[in-house]
Structure 1
Amino acid sequence: MSLPPMNELLAFQKTASRLSFKKASDELNLTPSTVSHLVRSLEERLKTRLLNRTTRSVSLTEPGQKLFGQLNSILNNLTQAVDELDTDDKQPNGTIRISVNEIAAPILLDKLGKEFRETFPNVHVELIVDNRLIDTVAEGFDAGIRLRDTVPQDMVAVPVIKDFRFVVAAATTYIEKHGLPTQPSDLLEHNCIGFRFQSGRLYEWEFKRKDKRMVIDVKGTMTTNNPGLIMKAVKNGVGIGHIAEPLIKKEVESKELTVLLDDWNPGWPGLYLYFPRNRHMPSGLRAVIDTLRDN
């Protein structure tokens, strides 16, 4: 089979990434009907439906998802390669799509804040927050950020935070009313905010001090699958939460929150940014990596 025309591939890529003919047409400086016609032509050429269309929405079919995952990387790499032919005269640029979970997202926002924006004004970072372990290549991401142990083995991994802890924390107002737990088993007498994994399993809180390990099946009046809600509930004095320590650094320093059972809170594998091997490195991604890297 001969390769389809580039304009058909671009029309499909833009429509698949935005799930909108209107948004794709704005990027390509074409009319929505022209973009729709180009995608339809590609489907006829491939003899495969790539998009499901209704009057209100556009979604990818399974073949469309597979094609988009490969095509998006190829076209983005091609665009970046052409843009960077004169790298000596140009600053890093382009849109960098990163898959990140809710634990890591606030950490990235801190590191990619004002200073990054002023240093790399032509780099646009798109953070897509999702707690699922997804195939970043198939879903069109330049990189992902996850705990070290969950990074796919065939990826290049760069440390963002090498070592950190999940800690038990509570608001000062909660402690004043309910007292301090002095050992992990004391948590059974407190209102603890539970976390439920995507699989449906409830997280049991893990503790370690020297060679002693404990797992506590905490109880409480609230359970969520959203780390951001846990942090908000803890700050509001609802109960005790199990939170990534970097997320509450400012609140602990200001005495708004207190880390409990400090010598029982174990270290966790670090957060790593990962991306495919043997792919052209966009200049924007290089700028992100250099900024996030924990040396």
Structure 2
Amino acid sequence: MQTNRTDIADLIYFLAIARHRSFSRAAIELGVSASALSHALKGLENRLGVRLLNRTTKSVTLTAAGDALATSIGQPFEAIDNAVETLNRFRDAPAGRIRINVAVEAATLLVAPVLPTFVERFPGVELDIVANNRMVDVTEGGFDAGIRYGGTVPEDMIAQRLSADIRWVVAGAPGYVDRFGAPIHPNDLLHHRCVSNRLGDDRIYRWEFERAGEKLSITVPSSIIVDHAETGLVAVLGGAGLMYFPEPLVAPYVNEGRLRIVLSDWAPCEPGFHIYYSGRRQVPTGLRLLIELVRELRPLGL
């Protein structure tokens, strides 16, 4: 079969679906509708004379033929992407689209503060930021990079630090602390109302403490469980209980007197945010510029 320009576009569509194992997620990456992807893939399969995907209402998987095709064409298309990216060196201003998967706290505290400067300096670069605390494979997900706390960065990725280490604190509204008292020791939390954090792998986080070399990990009683610290923050501001936070998230409210830190002598410092990406491909210009800007402006120190 002779390949034409339509087939090239359809092959790009196919690779995106193969990465995501989902028409809807591939459609978001490519900026087209899921129905358009489905139509294109049916046409490609008809022209090739083989089924590439097994599709059900709940899943999309590759057939043996689809797996072979994805393996064969993945590297050439990656090389084409790299070649096009090198053209940024010849432009008066950089252009392109960058997709990053970011921990929610990093989106709020690290990325958002630099965005006004980024769009002013680099108006031709489009940033697509997906804030999600679930760990994802950024390569399979079609992302250029991810941002996570340093201790959770995948080992097979290239990582760069974007912030100083972060202190973790327990905080509550003054009204709550006045009513129920401030815990003196982490074990006192067993008698408090606590807002717990669900991790990206669905585990409920055990609050960690450290003082003078002594380390403790406490399973607190949960009156509320949240996926995002920002959700719990609103509840805690209203007096719902105590919660374990990255200190930069609550610092403005502490300064305003709307929150009070307790157990401050037990607050540990943990690795700050890191950006990570695959070493198998060239770093896109837009991603490099974002990294440089965060390191220049240092919204969380460095």
Same fold by TM (over 0.5)?
Answer: yes
Aligned residue for 2:105, secondary structure, equals coil
- How far apart, CA to CA, are the structure 2 residues paired with 1:250 and 1:168? 15
- How far apart, CA to CA, are the structure 2 residues paired with 1:263 and 1:65? 55
Contact 2:169-2:247 within 8 A present in 1 as well:
yes
Match of 2:224 in 1: 222
Deviation per CA, 1:153-176, whole angstroms, max 9, x where unpaired?
Answer: 221101012300221011223223
1:249 Cα shift?
A: 2.4
1:189 Cα shift?
A: 2.5
Say whether 1:253 aligns with 2:255: yes
- How far apart, CA to CA, are the structure 2 residues paired with 1:69 and 1:163? 40
Contact 1:73-1:137 within 8 A present in 2 as well:
no
**Superposition map of 1:1-295 within 5 A:** 5-12=7-14, 19=23, 37-44=39-46, 45=48, 47-50=50-53, 52=55, 60-62=60-62, 75=77, 78-79=80-81, 81-82=83-84, 84-85=86-87, 87-293=89-295, 295=302
Contact 1:224-1:230 within 8 A present in 2 as well:
yes
Contact 2:99-2:130 within 8 A present in 1 as well:
yes
- How far apart, CA to CA, are the structure 1 residues paired with 2:238 and 2:77? 47
1:211 Cα shift?
A: 1.7
Contact 1:206-1:214 within 8 A present in 2 as well:
yes
Deviation per CA, 1:257-281, whole angstroms, max 9, x where unpaired?
Answer: 2221112101112211001114122
- How far apart, CA to CA, are the structure 1 residues paired with 2:71 and 2:268? 38
Contact 1:68-1:140 within 8 A present in 2 as well:
no
CA RMSD of aligned residues (A): 3.7
Question: TM-score normalised to the size of structure 1?
Answer: 0.80
More off after superposition, 5-14 vs 105-114: 5-14
Structure 2 unaligned runs (5+)?
A: none
Q: Which amino acid aligns with 2:50?
A: K
Structure 1 unaligned runs (5+)?
A: none
Q: Which amino acid aligns with 2:219?
A: D
Q: Tell me: CA distance 1:83–1:183, structure 2 relative to 1, closer, same or farther (3 Å).
A: closer
- How far apart, CA to CA, are the structure 1 residues paired with 2:137 and 2:257? 40
Contact 1:80-1:283 within 8 A present in 2 as well:
no
* Number of aligned residue pairs: 287
Deviation per CA, 1:198-221, whole angstroms, max 9, x where unpaired?
Answer: 544332211111122223322142
Q: Which amino acid aligns with 1:110?
A: A
Q: Tell me: CA distance 1:267–1:6, structure 2 relative to 1, closer, same or farther (3 Å).
A: same
- How far apart, CA to CA, are the structure 2 residues paired with 1:196 and 1:86? 41
- How far apart, CA to CA, are the structure 2 residues paired with 1:13 and 1:186? 53
- How far apart, CA to CA, are the structure 1 residues paired with 2:169 and 2:68? 40
Aligned residue for 1:187, secondary structure, equals helix
Aligned residue for 1:274, secondary structure, equals strand
Q: How much identity, in percent, do the aligned residues show?
A: 33
Question: TM-score normalised to the size of structure 2?
Answer: 0.78
More off after superposition, 252-261 vs 173-182: 173-182
Q: Tell me: CA distance 1:183–1:276, structure 2 relative to 1, closer, same or farther (3 Å).
A: same
